[in-house]
Amino acid sequence: MKMSSYRTVAEKDIKILPHTQADMVCLLISITVLHLSTLAMLLIATLEKSWWVWTELEVSDLWYNCFHDNRSDTWLCAATDESDWLQSVQALMILSVVFSCISFLVFVGQLVTMSKGGLFYFTGLCQAFAGL
């Protein structure tokens, strides 16, 4: 009976492929685009004027309730009713924008000051808080 020989993988057999500079630049650009697109979407969602369209004559968002006046052909807007859930949503949207801005600024700062191979823990933490 012939026994087949199995070869174990030694540490010297594992080769780590070096990242080329082009790969790192591509990764850096994609992360920067991700930060900026997240920030842009948050700002648009927070400032958007028509979250809920009830009818053609009534529109509501986080900040205002607007009604169309047919006589004067203008939109009449008033602040939204003060309810607890709406204030919570307003506060969380503002905090999300703030944490996302902080995350982007810290990311850019870390790119300039951090040594090669450093990790972006604080940036990731700020971005995670922005997502909550």
Please give the pLDDT value at position 117: 64
What's the token pair of residue 120?
């972006």
Whether residue 75 is contained in a domain is answered as yes
Q: Are 98 and 92 in contact (CB under 8 A)?
A: no
Residue 66: per-residue pLDDT: 85
Q: How many C-beta atoms surround the C-beta of residue 129 within 10 A?
A: 15
Q: Which domain holds residue 126?
A: 38-131
Look at the chain and report how many structural domains it folds into: 1
Q: Supply angle C-alpha 96, 101, 104, rounded to 5.
A: 125
Residues 123 and 103 sit within 8 Å (Cβ to Cβ): yes
* Per-residue tokens: 10: 């030694």
Spell out the per-residue pLDDT of the chain, length 132, in tens. Answer: 555 555 555 555 555 556 677 777 888 889 889 889 989 998 888 887 666 777 778 888 888 888 888 888 888 888 877 778 888 888 888 899 999 999 889 888 888 887 766 677 888 888 888 877
> What's the CATH code of the domain at 109?
1.20.140.150
Does a structural domain hold residue 11?
no
Residue 89 located in a structural domain = yes
Q: Is residue 33 part of a domain?
A: no
pLDDT at 33: 92
> Does residue 121 fall inside a structural domain?
yes
Residue 86 lies in a domain: yes
Between CA 75 and CA 71 the distance in angstroms is 11
